[in-house]
Amino acid sequence: MTLILETQRLLLKPILKNGLNTLHTILIDSYVRKYLCDDKIFPLQQVEEMVIQSQNNFEEKKLGLWFIETKNEQEIIGFVGLWDFFDEEQPQLVYALLPEATKKGYATEAATKILDYCFNKLNYQYLLASCDRPNLESQKVTERIGMTKVDEKIVNGNPLVFLRIEKY
């Protein structure tokens, strides 16, 4: 099974150690970190630990973090994947795009591919996602792929919306 996933306009490629600096650059971008990182700048060492965990997850569970690369420009514009958050039983959908790549449907396209991968390759019965309540753009992406809000909680002082979709 190949872990490179393809959509009409995108390639989703597993993030490996040689992508460490690229992932760090994405995560420290002020637009990305505003919601995804609680506006904290992750040190390179923390991002390296994420990459190692993602590689291990790919080897053991066939899931992790993928770079989102445009086919035409061959440019990495963000990442998407499945990651363990909170105390959930299975990893959640996560995605982030650099600001210049937003409002073009890329997040929806990448998230849809991960959803398909979850249900058809990993045989998940449902998929969860969460996002900061003020992050309306992210909530719109989850709605476009069919997720519905199931809960709202305050986590570490931040209001979060929890979303879910059942296997179709």
Global pTM value: 0.94
Three-class SS string for 8-63? CCEEEEECCHHHHHHHHHHHHCHHHHHHHCCCCCCCHHHHHHHHHHHHHHHHHHCC
Q: Widest CA span of the chain, in angstroms? A: 41
C-beta contacts of 40-46 below 8 A and 24+ residues apart: 44/20
pLDDT in tens, 34-92: 988 888 999 999 999 999 999 999 999 999 999 999 999 999 999 999 998 877 788 99
Give the model's pLDDT for residue 85. 81
Whether residue 103 contacts residue 125, with contact meaning beta carbons closer than 8 Å, is answered with no
- Please state, in angstroms and rounded to a whole number, the distance separating the CA atoms of residues 10 and 101: 12
| Residue 129, SS3 per DSSP | strand
Distances (CA, A) of 9 to 12, 72, 90, 91, 154: 10, 7, 28, 25, 36
Instruction: Using a pLDDT cut of 90, give the percent of the chain over it.
Output: 88
Whether residue 6 contacts residue 114, with contact meaning beta carbons closer than 8 Å, is answered with no
Give the model's pLDDT for residue 1. 47
Element (H or E) spanning 88, and its range?
none
3-state helix, strand, coil in the chain (%, to 5): 40, 30, 30
Give the model's pLDDT for residue 39. 87
